[in-house]
Amino acid sequence: MSVEGSWAEFTVHAAGGSPVGPGDGPAYVREDDPVAFDVDGDGNPERVGRNERLSFEVDATVGVMVPAGPRGVGDVDGDADEQSPGW
């Protein structure tokens, strides 16, 4: 089984003032956009970096054990292909 995906935007907000003055406090944002803010106070944001979406990928092996019997499909005769009308 394999599952993968991503978040279009992931944001974490901190309480308190901004590092550059009063306000709502800093926020950490991950999305597919460049990172820019006004470094020199001229009103124009300067590009200071980039970020990417948070993504994940998980691979897992799933084993299922089914007992032999009239309703099960477990190995009853050594053949790898067992079938049952009950399942």
Q: For 27-84, give the DSSP string.
A: EEEESSSEEEE-SSSSSSPEEEEE----EEEEE---------SSS--S-SSS-S----
- The letter for the amino acid at 69 is G
Mean pLDDT, rounded, of the chain? 77
pLDDT average, residue stretch 55-66:
84
Q: pTM of the full predicted structure?
A: 0.38
At 12-44, the pLDDT tens digits run: 877 776 666 666 677 788 888 888 888 888 999
Q: Please report the pLDDT score of residue 59 as a whole number.
A: 92
Alpha-carbon torsion 24, 25, 26, 27, what sign? negative
